[in-house]
Structure 1
Amino acid sequence: MSGPLTNTSSKGRVPTGYADEIVLSNASFKQLHRSVESATGPPAKKRKREAKGDPADVYGYRGPWAKYEEVRPDAAPDDEEEEVEYVVEYEEDEIEDIDRAPLPKGATDYAETGDGSEKSEFHGKSQYDYQGRTYMHVPRDLDIDLHSDIADLQCYHPKKLIHTWKPSSKPINQMRFFPGSGHLLLTASADAKIRLYDVYHDRELLRSFSGHTKSVNDIDFTANGEQFLSASYDRTIKSWNTETGQCLSRFSTKGNPHVVRWNPDPKHSWEFLAGMSNKKILQFDTRTGGDPIQEYDHHLSAVNTLTFCDENRRFMSTSDDKSMRAWEYGIPVPIKFVAEPEMYSMVRSASHPRKNFVAYQSLDNQIIIWGSSERFKQNNKKASLSSFRGHNCTGYAIDVAFSPDGNILSSGDTGGYVCFWDWKTCKMWHKIKASEVPVVAVAWHPHETSKVVTGDLNGVMKYWD
């Protein structure tokens, strides 16, 4: 072994000229030390301080002025031996003989998949119907008119399972119905794939989108559904054409994007926001690409949710710093900041379809309601009704969703349940055992009275009615 030994108390970087480092326990070091001593002679002596003495002894107390005494580095100390880590530095030609143990992965650091090149594949039976229309055409051969107004729609909680999809064994991170009609379902998975399904007819997989190398953690349709965004742990955000599968633009970020949202305002329909793990909210323009055109950087930890409100002129954000902030779109200074001692991190959000409220999944096992109008404050009436409780969400980013009429609020659960509450009374109406593992994704069909889709950590999606 030609490299020198270095005694360190932490795992530092290997100096220039060395290729790797191995951390040894005390026992391994002593065995190595004896072999080195037999070959090169005893090591240099190590200096150690003398005892400080008794402070009551005026003439014998040494304190911080105690001298050093000479001791050998392998001499046993007076009390229990201190645990010290030693680093052995190797030359490059010696690294080939070393067995490296795999490094532990973080909870969200999924293994890379693919080379990152964008491609899409059609999986359906036929790409065009008898009139030459693609799956973007809203079907009219159904029992329900997907073009009708839903103003008078009255919703009910689902009771039975009608279909199951299992695209992979990796967790389902997010699901989005096609805006308005809901005849298509877009899903994001931890296997780095995005998939598009037919909700009616054969309920088949229509198209898959590949281009990320790590878990895709959020997706979002434009208002017309022609494009969608995908955000991944590979630190990229990509814009896709829903019909052709073409990747339209790419955005690289310095942190992991946790949440992405298109601006619903037609005047800014080409812009979107991204909440990052590095505490920033970035605003991008798909016409120019590249760097963000605006940064909102007042949060103190990872950003979890972004919710547009007040006719899309403003948006609300929450973070792991246990705060809520409201912003004027395009102005990087908060107009409202709320951080109370009793607040927990709010990890998912859903806007009420007919009122100025936003439901937040709080990690203290409750769903809390905030006003999204001028005052941006917690709804005291809902708080007095003990909020929406009865489920467990601690430790997971579990989705919340409103029924199209706004009268039912739903959420997943770490015990594998899907829970349904009455909006007016905050009482739990019903819950369904949907899985044996946590249900993390929930979405209501935007045009049906009782259809809900759920996704769990085993990659299973279930459609309920």
Structure 2
Amino acid sequence: MKMSSLVAYDNSESEDDSCAQKEEGAPAPSHTDPAGCSNSDLRPRPADSVSDQSVTEQSGSTLHFYPKLQNWDGGYCSGQKDKHFKDSCAKPRRAGPLQAPLCVPDASNPAKRVSASASGVRPYVPKRQRQARSEETEDPANPPEQVLGDLTRKSSVLSDGSLRVKACLGEKPKAAGIPRKLLMSLEGHQGPVNTVQWCPVPHVSHLLLSASMDKTFKVWDGAESGRCLRLYTCHSGAVRDASWTPCGQQLLTGSFDNTAAITDVETGQQTVKVDNQFKVMCAVPHPNSPDVFLCGGYSSVVKAWDSRCCKVVKAYKAAIQQTLDILFLRGGKDFITSSDCVSRDSADRTLIAWDYQTTAKVSNQLYHERYTCPSLALHPQEESFVAQTNGNYMALFSSQRPYRMNKRRRFDGHKVEGYAVQCDFSPDGAILASGSSTGSAHFYDYQSGRVLHSVQAHSQPCLRVSQHPVLPATAATCDWAGEIKIWH
């Protein structure tokens, strides 16, 4: 009678039912040993004792079951369906010093299966089973460190507040104090930290933004825990500048990869990314138009971008090589740019005042000394701004036309020496802070110009001192070695 066969396969058990090897010289298995290859293993078995890996043969009304046939091949087993399976099992091929007869384990009884560890063969574990085991081994009390740049999980960067900040929100604003003691040190950047900035929104002002030459920028809890809340890896080049948008929900960054990007603080997703076709040194959001931001850098043109259409809406051209910093004046109608021109006749290009709407130069005779100005800062109360100069002092200017320099007041005592050292005012404008190439942080009295206090903050050049907008006598500093410190 013609025979027909059906074979059922199960990937999750294909290797678990493989043959186990035994060292040469071991006693031969008996007919009762399930690991042996006796003729008794080839006899028909009841239907309830046969696993899914079996060969069924139907002859008339009688159903015979045989175990899935294996063939020894160099230490591994492979299924065979030919008629020579008995010879292959009875006379296995020699494959080396460790040779064992073919084993056909009893799949119906897992207790009788030969351990794969005895033969040195690792059993196959299905992917779903491996994932289930990894989830069971995780300790829910001590979860593994989460990837801060993962965009798939929900974040609570803005929803989590600080008790210190909340306690100061209901009080009457106090006079700005001078930080003198180290509160905490934040480490995590692998390159120089170009800038640090507190979030301008009061109820989440515990958030501290940092941008580094290691191609990343981060948001920290700078008020209490000091931990990094989110890591952003949106750029392929060094992040030269970073700032909060006025709403505090997005971050504007400029990088040496020729791009400027707007990133959502919560999700970490880039909402806008534009190619400036030059290395971006500074990126500044418009104070009154949240959809517009300016970019300057290794180019003679400053570009104004509209984030809704990702197009250049205005261009400000000057005979310069690169733009070092951009500062919007109060109201957003005018802004100041700083360039790297230091020639004898460069007084018309060192600091330039622009009309935002018409792109015309309002004034180009602001600063007549032969020093570059790596950074600018606007006074929060008065109509004035300061320019950090490579002459190792900060010059004071009027923020109203014709933007004249105050020659009777200057802030000196620190060193710049070619570093992009930045300066910052306290919320009430009474204290002006600046970093130094010597690693120290200097605090000046704005009215008199004298030094109130100096602290040796870092061993490397201190590039920025950012004073907290809510907490009194609190400031953050960053240095050329990638370290961030919080002072109180």
Displacement of 1:121 after TM fit?
4.4
Structure 2 CA distance for aligned equivalents of residues 321 and 434 of structure 1: 31
State the shift of 1:145 in Å. Answer: 3.5
1:32-51 CA distance string (max 9 Å, x none): xxxxxxxxxxxxxxxxxxxx
Q: Is the 8 A contact 1:259 1:306 kept in 2?
A: yes
Query: Matches of 1:310 and 1:145 in 2, distance apart?
Result: 30
8 A contact 1:302–1:320 mirrored in 2: yes
Larger radius of gyration: 2
- AA matched with 2:148: F
Distance 2:387 2:327 in 1: 10
- Answering whether residue 383 of structure 2 is matched by residue 356 of structure 1, we say yes
The percentage of counterpart residues that share the same residue type is 25
Asked if 1:282 corresponds to 2:303, the answer is: yes
Q: Structure 1: 5+ residue runs without aligned partners? A: 1-119
Cα distance in 1 between the residues matched to 2:165 and 2:210 = 25
Distance 2:192 2:224 in 1: 26
Structure 2: how far apart are the matches of 1:444 and 1:312? 23
Q: Which residue of 1 aligns with 2:185?
A: 164
Q: 1:363 to 1:149 in 2, by over 3 A?
A: farther
> What displacement does 1:138 show?
6.0
Taking the aligned partners of 1:428 and 1:377, their CA distance within structure 2 comes to 24
Is residue 303 from structure 1 mapped to residue 357 from structure 2 by the alignment? no
Answer yes or no: is the 8 Å Cα contact 2:366–2:405 preserved in 1: no
Contact 1:173 1:189 (C-alpha < 8 Å) held by counterparts: yes
Which residue of 391, 410, 425 corresponds with 1:402?
425
Per-residue deviation at 1:299? 4.0
Counterpart in the other structure of 1:249: 272
Amino acid at match of 2:206: H
Paired residue secondary structure (1:425)? coil
Partner of 1:264: 287
**Code of the aligned partner of 1:440:** L
What is the aligned residue count? 332
- Aligned equivalent of 1:142: 164
Does the 8 A contact of 2:351 with 2:367 survive in 1? no
The answer (yes or no) to whether the contact 2:222–2:486 under 8 Å persists in 1 is: no
- From 408, 421, 424, the equivalent of 1:384 is 408
Q: How many Å separate the matches in 1 of 2:276 and 2:251? A: 18
8 A Cα contact 1:258 1:304, kept in partner: yes
User: Is contact 2:157-2:265 (8 Å) kept?
Assistant: no
| Distance in 1 between residues matched to 2:168 and 2:293, nearest whole Å | 27
Moved more, 341-350 or 273-282: 341-350
State the TM-score, normalized to the length of structure 1: 0.68
Give the 5 Å matches for 1:9-408. Answer: 121-122=147-148, 134-137=156-159, 139=161, 141-142=163-164, 144-145=166-167, 147-148=169-170, 152-181=173-202, 182-265=205-288, 268-289=289-310, 291-322=311-342, 323-338=350-365, 341-379=368-406, 383-385=407-409, 387-408=410-431
TM-score w.r.t. structure 2 length? 0.65
CA RMSD in angstroms, aligned pairs only: 2.1
> Where does residue 111 of structure 1 map in the other structure?
none
Aligned equivalents of 1:158, 1:205: Cα separation in 2: 22
Report how far residue 146 of structure 1 moved. Answer: 5.2
CA drift at 1:339 = 5.7
Pairwise CA distance, 1:200: 2.9
Q: Is the 8 A contact 1:412 1:441 kept in 2?
A: yes
The DSSP-based 3-state class of the residue aligned with 1:142 is helix
Residue 375 (structure 1) shift: 2.1
Where has structure 1 moved over 3 Å in runs of 4 or more? 140-150
